[in-house]
Amino acid sequence: MMMALRVVLLALFIAAPVGGKSFRADLERLAADYAADPALLQPVTFGVRVDDEAWTVSARPAADGKPAEVTVSAGEPDVPAFVYVTDSATFARIASGDLHALTAMAQARASDPTPMRVETVNGFEMDAAGRNAFLSVSFHFFTTGQPEIVSFGPEHARLVHGGEAVPIYYSERLRTAWYGIAPGQHINAEPGDQVNDFDSLVVVIKGGSARARLGGQEVPLADNQAILVPAGMTHEFWNPGEERAAFLLIMFGETA
């Protein structure tokens, strides 16, 4: 680590469940990596709760000649903040890079259960600024190293919208994801899921035996093909055969 970087890790020990020491070590490792991340541009405080163990992470970017500083302390945040809530098995996968934090929280509807969820405390507002802070932390805190690399594929995915999903990077007016369609899977089978109010670009990596219905027209997916799905166009994808399909999804626009 460069000498210019300083990470303050507050060793505030509390009674922890089995595996707590490993959790703390993982959280401190993530904090140290976050302090070195050039994307740390704004101060932010957030919480992480794993089973019954709660921690507060406060980050301050480098400024006025002072190095970036990240602190990790025991307990829930005492200021307005968002809090990641999960279990020890899920956190271990996220900390190791096996499961992306955005993937752990991905859902088609707000009522869908997820292995990690976000809560707000002390009056935190998930307005535009709050959402941007949440999305930035969700990627940059939990994605380690430079360059930051996200692994995708069936082993890193969760079932969302009927297919194997790995959200990759979300920011203001941009969402990106990898989708797999295993034999028998149907993405956007429900009519209510088939229309977005923003544009999308479907970049087919492998068409396999999958098919799509776009604006009522049925077409096969083909390798190395890009399909623009304008806002308002109905779209669904399914796999009636035995060959797996995969595509990258780029969603963009004012409401993405």
Query: Which sequence spans correspond to the domains of the chain?
Result: 8-140, 154-252
| Same topology between domain 8-140 and domain 154-252 | no
The helix-helix angle for 88-96 and 20-35 (nearest 10°) equals: 40
Looking at residue 63, its pLDDT comes to 93
Residues 211 and 227: their CA atoms lie apart, in Å, by 13
Residue 26 CA to residue 14 CA, distance in Å, equals 16
* CATH superfamily of the 8-140 domain: SCP2 sterol-binding domain (3.30.1050.10)
Tens of pLDDT along the chain (256 residues)? 333 334 333 333 333 444 446 788 999 999 999 999 999 999 999 999 999 899 999 999 999 989 999 999 999 999 999 999 999 999 999 999 999 999 999 999 999 999 999 999 999 999 999 999 999 999 999 999 999 999 999 999 999 999 999 999 999 999 999 999 999 999 999 999 999 999 999 999 999 999 999 999 999 999 999 999 999 999 999 999 999 999 999 999 999 9
154-252 carries CATH number 2.60.120.10: yes
